[in-house]
A and B are shown apart, each in its own frame.
Chain A
Amino acid sequence: MGKPTGFMEHPRSVPMVRPAVERVTDWREFHGHSDDTELQNQGARCMDCGVPFCHTGNVLGGAASGCPINNLIPEWNDLVYRGRWREAFDRLRKTNDFPEFTGRVCPAPCEGSCVLGVNDNPVTIKRIEQAIIDRAFDAGWVMPQPPSGRTGKRVAIVGSGPAGLTAAAQLNQSGHCVTVFERADRIGGLLMYGIPNMKLEKSVVQRRTDLLAAEGIEFVVNTSVGRDYSVDRLMGEFDAIVLCGGAARPRDLLLDGRSLSGIHFAMDFLHLNTKSLLDSNQRDGRFLSAKDKDVIVIGSGDTGTDCVGTALRQGCRSLVQFEILSKPPETRAPDNPWPQWPKVYRLDYGQEEAAALFGRDPRTYSIMTKSFVGDKDGRLKSVRTVGIMWSKDENGQFQPVEIDGTEREWRTQMVLLALGFEGPETEGLLTQIGVALDDRGNVATDEDKMTSVSKVFAAGDMARGQSLVVWAIADGRHAARGADKFLRGGRT
């Protein structure tokens, strides 16, 4: 079905209507919009595969191949092609609680495993997803749908990131009374403060939070469970608890000069920026400013990119981004075949903007930071690096080897550490509840996502380690199923 020959007739087209130089002047979303015809054409490119890899969610080569929440992608692509938006929305929400988030922030493993990607550009699945949900909101199809009855069971969700919100939504739909605890002042966790506004407009997060509240979920902000709300009370008042606290412990770079001022974790930088933006449109000045600074972002993952985009918007003087790995190939390497997540060179929005402003991709590859250098006032002055190459050690593991003569010193006043996260914060909540951890330091769970403590479940990065929003949604649903089964007496 779909249009059998659509993929031969229409090239892939992803609109980026706002030019980079323009969009760095504000904090509004950078996503462009396509007209209906274009969207239908893009939907027609879907080949309606006999075996659609796009919705598999297998982990291949250490990365997701296909959608982890098994979105019914071929079905809604086809419906979009046919202009049947309302049904497309019905199919979409069947698997995805928050398409407006994934449609904006997901790296789209679906597209990485799209069969058309075998020898062509994949279908613009992510943009179609966003178009469906945006249209659904515009048309008023997204209405609060409180459950028809209540079970009388109470569930606490600790953490309001994507996993927590998903678990909350699902358990609420099952008729349980759900309370979500959030230690920040706004609901959304990573969605609210981890991802900058230009990637995910905060009104979009708020809109969803409002819907959930209208469906009967109780939100409690500024409350850190274990500190502001005792674990005993929590365990006493609730029939089930789902821990969705994320993997909040950032990886540090403990080199000489780490204590110099001007070195920040990316998440602190991003959080404060967004909070100030929401609180006062940044008039309160309560954020870490890169204005007129030479900024170095260490790490080139999604968070690193967000730091780049944010620093640019703040008006940095120059910007470079270090990546310890070597530059990925333009096309798939032989050991990275389709349908694995393609480890290829990409220009994300931040890099595209930096290139537009400064003339080049800010990333430097195969580079290792050796030390931070400060001035006499203890302020960061520069960073010393060395070039490296990767070679296999005797165990066959790749190891970085420094290359003599490639030492270099970079002038900088601000370094942002975007090196990823090590796992959940263990002091406080986790220690107090007493849940067991797995060998990677994440909360250990069983096949129902229950922790070692009865009635306590865990989902999202807290149990999985740092990952994608879409995995958080997948885990949130999984934990909700487990908790619901538990609450209905399906397990003891």
Chain B
Amino acid sequence: MLSLRKSVWFGFHKVNHSDYPKKQGLYDPHYEHDACGMGFVVDVGGRKSHAIIEQAMQVLLNLEHRGATGSEKNTGDGAGILFQLPHRFLVRECARQKIKLPQPGEYAVGMVFLPTAEESGRQCKRQFAKIIREEGQSLFGWRRVPTDNSMLGASAKASQPVIEQVFIRRGQDVSDELDFERKLCIIRKRITKAAKRGIHERGTFYVSSLSCRTIVYKGMLIANQLSAFYPDLRDGDVESALALVHSRFSTNTFPSWARAHPYRYIAHNGEINTLRGNINWMRARESKFRSKFFGSELHKILPVIDSDTSDSGMFDNVLEVLTLTGRSLPHAMMMMIPEPWTADQSMSAEKKAFYEYHSCLMEPWDGPAAIAFTDGIRIGAMLDRNGLRPARYYVTKAGLVILASEVGVLDVPPEEILCKGRVQPGRMFLVDTESGRVVDDDELKRAVATQYPYAEWLRNNQLSLEEFPSPPDTPVQNSSTLLEQQHAFGYTSEELKLLITPMGAHGEEPVGSMGTDTPLAVLSERPQLLYNYFKQLFAQVTNPPVDAIREDLVMSTDTTIGPEANMLEPAPECARQIRLPSPILTNEQLNKLRHLGDAGQGAAGVKFKSITLPMLYEVNGGERSLEAALTELCRQSAAAIAGGYGVIILSDRGVDKDKAAIPALLAVSSIHHYLIREGTRTQVGFVVESGEPREVHHFALLLGYGAAAINPYLVFDILRDLTAQRHLGVDIDHTISNYLKAINKGIVKVISKMGISTIQSYCGAQVFEAVGLREDLVDRYFTWTPSRIGGVGLEVIAEESRLRHKQAFPEGSEPEQSLIEGGQYQWRRKGELHQFNPESIHKLQHACRTNNYETFKEFSALINDQSRQLHTLRGLMELTPLAGPIPIAEVERASEIVKRFKTGAMSYGSISREAHEALAIAMNRIGARSNTGEGGEDSERYTAEANGDSRNSSIKQVASGRFGVTSNYLVNANELQIKIAQGAKPGEGGQLPGHKVSAAIAKVRHSTPGVGLISPPPHHDIYSIEDLAQLIYDLKNANDRARISVKLVAEVGVGTVAAGVAKAHADVVLISGYDGGTGASPLSSIKHAGAPWELGLAETHQTLVLNNLRSRITIETDGQLKTGRDVVIAALLGAEEFGFATAPLVSLGCIMMRVCHLNTCPVGVATQDPELRARFSGDPSHVINFMNFVAQEVRELMAELGFRTINEMIGHTECLTMRLGIEQWKARGLDFSNIVHRPAMPDTVGRYCQIKQENEVEKSLDHTVLLERCKPALEHGKQITATFPIRNADRAVGTMLGSHITRAHGADGLPPDTIQLTFKGSAGQSFGAFVPRGLTLTLEGDANDYVGKGLSGGRILVYPPKDSTFQAHENVIIGNVAFYGATGGEAYISGIAGERFCVRNSGVLAVVEGVGDHGCEYMTGGCVVVLGPTGRNFAAGMSGGFAYVLDEKGDFIIRCNRAMVEVTGIDDASEIELVKNMIFRHAEYTGSRRATEILVSWDEMTSRFLRVLPNDYKRVLEGEKGSANFALPVVEMRVKSADVSG
């Protein structure tokens, strides 16, 4: 079965639909991501017309900016349309070929991509005909679809298939349309499989659609090419009542006609994060499949999932099978993307039961998604539980529904609009053309949920562990062997002290700082646990991580265990499983499972038993014995399944002198994959009973490779021991529950980093990358896990186990009385190696302080020379000159080289002002760049010092918290860096605790001293690649002189993400290593998330070269760079700029205390304590010396290699070889050929940045119209008033104009209302972003996402068109994430806003008439008045500011997240006055009817307002005033004569 991997996973580049470059080097086509815009148009009454097609095409055109082009402007990533079979048109066309089509429903049409080679094409068609016949249908014939490729780009043209339509007549014995669809599915699956075997020439065979109801026209096109390419689409006879369109943004540029959307049932904007697990589980379930609809033919549609397609295609595959086997489309959608049901108190009981029941059938397909779906009769859309993609709709009075990723995609006169809405997170929106109506989520789901008595089925079948009686004999610890056990499993005193004790005492995973500088597991001399060879993957750019703390309503740790039944047919016994509240089991819980089915013990209703299999092997037998034990375990598991056991407990209890534990991860994964191959995996659940797992990463891995639950008995024993010695300060029950809490929280955090919300779907999802495991090992035991540089095999794993085992059972002597030290987190002489150790720190500091290059060389020798002790991958590389050396005088000067150097992003807040400014001054002096980090910058620093020094950081970071990101901040940068992820904790946010928020820090962050600040894990305006493109566009508008950089962290697949970044027009992409420093991060993230930069950088360079995008973007890298050799290797692997953070800090005095998070840095570097800051002894000259030393060492190496300039050197991996004769027992298995691979591309393909990214900003409304119009205001402060039309393609309107105001007039801008611009229509994304004081933007119409993002003092007014008739306050008027990170200004929105209104607002005063989920999330200041309903999770993470909510229905309280806020009425007169004034202004500015109504009955309305006030903020405000009287925001009143109160 090993061949499975090759044929299934990487198969699609060999033969088939695409011309992707084959897997080579570190590039792997599998990691391609895409996202997009999608939409549909439907006539609710089902009236067919060509207008629907035309309108859908118009929608597609207006979504064009959400798609992308690659290095060729006229080659798009894909566009397509799905609609009903155009019967009239087809009849006409077929008639020409003498085919007479029968009535609709009696025939089907397939849209087929055929190979261009004629013989292959003929062969495919012959096959097709044969299969159609065999399946009892008949072939009418083929129609060549006319195409016009004249406008296509070269690569699209080159890969264009022959496109034909096949016509099939329904067979006699096919009863109805659905049955026909089943037959067609069988035919399609069979022909696809046959073609895969049959076509040997390069070429495409693909069936876009084959249906009696719908047809798909798609291709590798730009939106505006679709109708030109397919003349059919312009034919007036092509009619449909519905049409679904999609425009694709792929992260690379390789041609793929087949991967354009729509698929047969869906168009998808999003991606599936749990895909690997979903595929495996689906495959594993197939052996249990039975369907009355398919009967004996079922095998023909298996495997369900076509491994050659994308994640969306796979989703489509499963959806298809679920519907063809009898479920409705909405039902199948609800199964695959369930709402979060576990914690939702407002969900109806039957709906909860529906979801709970279906969770026994399949795990969620988890990830961001806006999916539009149709079966040709019903068309709908659904969002994932987080609502991570937008979907807005209009319903017109004429019965048309337009739904799309944006509003304004189709012009509809305002008076014709019946209502405007948005699809909400987890919700569905459906139009049924048969019944001719729009079905809302509630009705739809109620109907589905009540189809069967799910609650009853659950009640009678499902069991909860709590209900089981306790067996009497829960094992207790044997303290005499405790030490022995700890030795055997490799515990260190450091782990006890730094990991286990804090978790037991406080229930929190411990935090550390300053990254990691220990060797990878494969390089370490010390025996490593197998877990350490795996790195966690995480979400970046193409999907967002989830905030598992503030948005815990979407998270779930619930899981079930037990054999699964046939998922295709609903039946009570499918629920026959045991529900576990958490995957970590106490000894007692495990014991209950162990006694399942025992006489007298088994709970009633359990129909399966459990069996315990020993996870032990004869340690002295080494590899052979380990392998035999694994084989035996697999055999025993299969036998257990055959024997009717539903739960297998894998146990390593019983380690003794001869028997060691099989590494639990190895045991679990190998059985998991063995049973998947056997097709019996879902008939059994695994529980691991092991002494090995202790930290979060271990548990995450065990779950990720298929364990359902884990009992870490040895940790419990250790906790018991520590408690007995009173080291934890809590009793044993609390200790264990604290530990479980910490681990559960940690696991949830790990899964949320990948954007996964439920442990159930994480189970088996394998979202890990192996670093240092050999291919044969991975193929056999960790199938489908990426492992790219070879490494150790089973023999080393066995040896590592033996070494640990020997600690416990040393030959001829007693084991050590105390544990070994460890030294992973804190350096120890006899512990793990660290690059920064006493010697190297001393040498570096001494060199930099005395400006002594000789001493620096001693330092760099300690780092570079790894011939004795291995530290890094690059340490194993050898520099080999291609030609002879050159004189060093000919090499580029050091003063030029240092300009490529940067200091890392470290915020003022994480490090002291002294250290922060020393870095800035140093880098400015030498023409290099320092980085603000996340946290703003004091504007005083923008002015140069008298001596010429500048404290202004050249690079200004834009991170998820957007602290201090004002217009003024942005215009004062040379480079703007979007931090997607950070090496030490990719996928995580951060927190600055209140005690670190000093007055000075609060000032630059625009927050309140003493109030804690939260940086969310995702940027709430980047949930996808097209969102990133939008932010880049926004920032270019906010400062058109700055380079835009995107910071990513190395992980497998980062290359394709970087390609997407390049296509999103960023100027720089930064690839950070996993090992970089941090101010504070969970220890498991520091060690286990992300990959070394050598891998990420090389993959990025290779992928960009293959895409011909490399020449458009600068690559920067960082992560423990310390020496000139590091820089040279980075350049050879493809980098042209280089970041340093830890080393410059050390040069300034940092002594790697790793206590940055405690604020106790004793050398004044990473602390805000004034007393400690006084100890800072660094000087800019120290940093300058360091940079010069590195540059000098670079020059020396360049001279040896024969390179005169850095540019010459970039990407020359031929100069890198892996050192020969590496004898280290683990590292000798490594193979760097993938890292040093050079893609064979023509010389015309640039290998470093030579071409400036296209500046689309020049086409913006601001650049073309507004700037000129507003010149008098900019130059002379004259008042300007003007009106313009606006459409959704006009994005970031006002932003560039705002930046000019700031440039000319500074942070304070102009007097309010100096420029007043009114726009009519639908505004594109980021309307009014970063607009400063003096600019008032009025929008009459509606707006898309990100309105007023980063608003910096300006004023934004939005109201519906005057001639619209709908009720503004009942309709959605602006999109998601409005006023994100805004620091000041005012906003009045007459209508409902989408999700995350005013997220991380720190100063805006806003009035709105209703908001979606997560309103005022992370808010730190400002004031928000909501005059209508709010969504769920209002005020999550809100630490400052005020919100006032009109709670007419009295149910606000259940939708408010009160973890950090209090909700009260308002009785203070001045507060009442404030709210009234704001509403008054709202009425005045927007003419809001709602506001007027409220003001009219103000006295009775006041009691219905609730105040939301963060606890911290209240405490600080009260402290300030010494009373409960708060400093309320001041609203200047400018009462017009109109009397609104009467």
Give the interface of A toward B (CB within 8 A). Answer: 1, 4-5, 7-8, 47-53, 55-58, 60, 65-66, 70, 72, 74-75, 78, 82, 84, 90-91, 94, 113, 115-116, 118-120, 147-149, 174-175, 334, 337, 339-340
Closest A-B pairs by Cβ, 5 of them: A50-B1154, A70-B829, A56-B838, A51-B1152, A51-B827
Query: Judging by beta carbons under 8 Å apart, are B1151 and A1 in contact?
Result: no
Q: Which residues of B contact A60 (CB under 8 A)?
A: 839, 842
Q: Are A47 and B727 in touch, CB under 8 angstroms?
A: no
18 A-B pairs in the complex with CB atoms less than 8 angstroms apart: A4-B1155, A8-B1160, A49-B1153, A50-B514, A50-B1155, A51-B826, A51-B836, A51-B1153, A51-B1154, A52-B828, A53-B1151, A55-B828, A72-B828, A74-B826, A82-B727, A119-B1163, A339-B838, A340-B842
A407 to chain B, nearest CB (A): 39
In the assembled complex, B498 has its CB within 8 A of some CB on chain A:
yes
Are the CB atoms of B1162 and A119 closer together than 8 Å? yes
CA distance A113 to B813 in the complex (A): 36
- Tell me the complex Cα distance, A337–B1152, Å: 17
Q: A51-B837, A51-B1154, A53-B842 are known contacts; what are 10 more A-B pairs with Cβ within 8 Å?
A: A1-B498, A8-B1169, A49-B826, A58-B839, A66-B838, A75-B821, A82-B727, A94-B818, A115-B1151, A339-B842
Q: Is the CB of B838 within 8 A of A58?
A: yes
A52 touches which of B826, B846, B849, B1177 (Cβ 8 Å) = B826
Assess the A48–B829 pair: CB atoms within 8 A: no
Chain B residue, CB-CB nearest to A3 = B1160
On chain B, the residues within 8 Å of A50 by CB distance are: 514, 825-827, 1152-1155
CB pair A149 B812 closer than 8 Å: yes
Complex CA distance for A337 and B845, rounded to whole angstroms: 10
Interface string of B1446-1478 (1 = CB under 8 A from A): 000000000000000000000000000000000
Q: How far is the CA of A94 from the CA of B821 in the complex (A)?
A: 11
Q: Is B1158 an interface residue (CB 8 A)?
A: yes
* B497 touching A1, Cβ below 8 Å: yes
Spell out B's residues near A (CB within 8 Å): 493, 497-498, 514, 725, 727, 812-814, 816-818, 821, 825-830, 834, 836-839, 841-842, 845-846, 849-850, 1149, 1151-1155, 1158, 1160, 1162-1163, 1169, 1171-1172, 1175, 1177
A193 to chain B, nearest CB (A): 32
A20-B1503 Cα distance, complex, nearest whole Å: 80
Q: Which residues of the partner chain B approach A337 to less than 8 Å between Cβ atoms?
A: 842, 845-846, 849
Q: Give the nearest-CB partner of A120 in chain B.
A: B1162
- Smallest CB gap from A147: residue in B: B813
CB nearest neighbor in A for B1151: A115
- Please measure, in the bound complex, the distance between the C-alpha atom of A480 and the C-alpha atom of B1149, giving whole angstroms: 39
Specify which of B825, B834, B838, B846 is in contact with A113 (CB 8 Å cutoff).
Answer: B838
Q: How far is the CA of A113 from the CA of B839 in the complex (A)?
A: 11
Contacts of B1172 in A (CB 8 A): 8
Hey, which chain B residues are within 8 Å of A8, CB to CB?
1160, 1169, 1171-1172
Contact at B849–A47, with CB atoms within 8 Å?
A: no
Name B1174's closest neighbour in chain A (CB-CB). A119
In the bound complex, what is the Cα–Cα distance between A174 and B813 (angstroms)? Answer: 8
User: Interface of chain B, helix or strand or loop or mixed?
Assistant: loop
What distance in Å separates the Cβ of A339 from its nearest Cβ neighbour in chain B? Answer: 6
> A56, A91, A115, A148: which contacts B1162 (Cβ < 8 A)?
A115
Inter-chain contacts of B1153 with A (CB < 8 A)? 47, 49-51, 115
Does B727 contact A84, Cβ atoms closer than 8 Å?
Answer: yes
Q: Which residues of chain B come closer than 8 Å to A84, judged between CB atoms?
A: 725, 727
- Chain A residues positioned under 8 Å from B493 (CB to CB): 75, 91
When C-beta atoms are compared, the residue in chain B nearest to A119 turns out to be: B1175
* B775 CB to nearest A CB, Å: 36
By CB atoms of chain B within 10 A, which of A56, A78, A91 has the most? A56
A5 to B842 alpha-carbon distance, docked (Å): 24
> What residue of chain B has the Cβ atom nearest to residue A50's Cβ?
B1154
Closest to B510 in A: A1
Query: In the complex the two chains form, what is the Cα distance from A147 to B812 in whole Å?
Result: 11
CB distance from B1076 to the nearest CB of A (A): 15
Residues of the B chain whose Cβ atoms lie less than 8 Å from the Cβ of A47 = 1153, 1155, 1160, 1162
A53: chain B residues at CB < 8 Å are: 838, 842, 1151
What is the CB-to-nearest-CB distance from A69 to chain B, in angstroms, rounded to a whole number?
9
**Assuming A1-B497, A119-B1177, is B821 touching A72 (CB within 8 A)?**
yes
From A51, A57, A72, A340, name the one whose CB has the most chain B CB atoms within 10 angstroms: A51
Which of A50, A58, A84, A91 has the most chain B CB atoms closer than 10 A to its own CB? A50
Q: A56-B838, A58-B839 are in contact. Are A48 and B1162 (CB under 8 A)?
A: no
Closest residue of chain A to B834, judged by CB? A51
How far apart are the CA atoms of A220 and B727 in the complex, in Å? Answer: 46
Chain B residues within an 8 Å CB radius of A174:
813
CA distance A51 to B844 in the complex (A): 14
Tell me which residues across on chain B come within 8 A of A66, comparing CB atoms.
838
Chain B residue with Cβ nearest A67: B829
Within 8 Å CB of A94, what residues of B? 816, 818
A51 to B838, Cβ gap below 8 A? yes
A91 in complex: contacting residue of B818, B827, B838, B1152, CB < 8 Å: B818
CA distance A78 to B826 in the complex (A): 14
Shortest distance from the beta carbon of B514 to any chain A beta carbon, whole Å: 6
Provide the residues of chain A in CB contact with B814, threshold 8 Å.
148
In the bound complex, CA of A145 to CA of B845 (Å): 45
Q: Give, as a whole number of angstroms, the nearest-CB distance from A32 to chain B.
A: 27
In whole angstroms, what is the CA distance A90 to B514 when docked? 30
Chain A residues within 8 Å of B841, by CB = 51
- Find out whether the CB atom of A7 lies under 8 angstroms from the CB atom of B1162: yes
Contact of A48 with B826 in the complex, beta carbons under 8 Å: yes
User: Which residues in A have their C-beta under 8 angstroms from that of B836?
Assistant: 51
* Closest Cβ–Cβ distance, residue B1081 to chain A (whole Å): 14
Q: Are A49 and B1151 in contact (CB under 8 A)?
A: yes
Residues of the B chain whose Cβ atoms lie less than 8 Å from the Cβ of A75? 493, 497, 821
CB closest residue in chain A, given B1157:
A4
Bound Cα distance from A339 to B1151, whole angstroms: 11
Alpha-carbon separation in the docked complex, A74 to B827 (Å): 11
> In the bound complex, how far is the Cα of B846 from the Cα of A118, in angstroms?
13
State in angstroms the CA–CA spacing of A5 and B1160 once bound together. Answer: 7
Residues of A within 8 A of B826 (CB): 48-52, 74
A118 and B727 contacting across the interface, CB-CB below 8 Å: no
Min CB distance A82 to B, Å, is 8
Q: Known interface pairs A118-B1151, A337-B849. Does A4 touch B1158 (Cβ–Cβ under 8 Å)?
A: yes
Name B513's closest neighbour in chain A (CB-CB). Answer: A50
A65 to B816, CA, bound (A): 28
Residues of B within 8 A of A118 (CB): 1149, 1151, 1162-1163, 1175
Q: Which residues of A contact B1171 (CB under 8 A)?
A: 8
Q: Which residues of A contact B838 (CB under 8 A)?
A: 51, 53, 56, 58, 65-66, 113, 339
Bound Cα distance from A70 to B828, whole angstroms = 8
Pair B829/A55 contact, Cβ less than 8 Å: yes
How far in angstroms is the closest Cβ of chain B from A147?
Answer: 8
Q: Residue of A at shortest CB range from B502?
A: A1
Please give the distance in Å from B1002's CB to the nearest CB on chain A: 23
Measured CA separation A1–B842 after assembly (Å): 24
Contacts of A4 in B (CB 8 A): 1155, 1158, 1160
**Beta-carbon nearest neighbor of A116 in chain B:** B1162
For residue B1162, which residues in chain A have a CB less than 8 angstroms away from its CB? Answer: 7, 47, 115-116, 118-120
Which B residue sits closest to A1, measured CB to CB? B497
Which residues from A are CB-within-8-Å of B725? 84
Residues of A within 8 A of B812 (CB): 149, 175
Nearest neighbor of A68 in chain B, beta-carbon distance:
B829
CA distance A49 to B826 in the complex (A): 7
A118 and B1169 CA atoms in complex are apart in Å by: 17
| CA–CA, A337 and B1172, complex, Å | 20
Q: What residues of A have a CB within 8 angstroms of the CB of B825 in the complex?
A: 50
Taken together as a complex, chains A and B put the C-alpha atoms of A118 and B842 apart, in Å, by 12
Nearest CB to that of A48 among chain B residues? B826
Q: Which of A55, A90, A148, A340 contacts B813 (CB 8 A)?
A: A148
Chain A residues contacting B842 (CB-CB under 8 Å) are: 53, 60, 65, 337, 339-340
* Interchain CA distance A264-B1375 in the complex, whole Å: 95
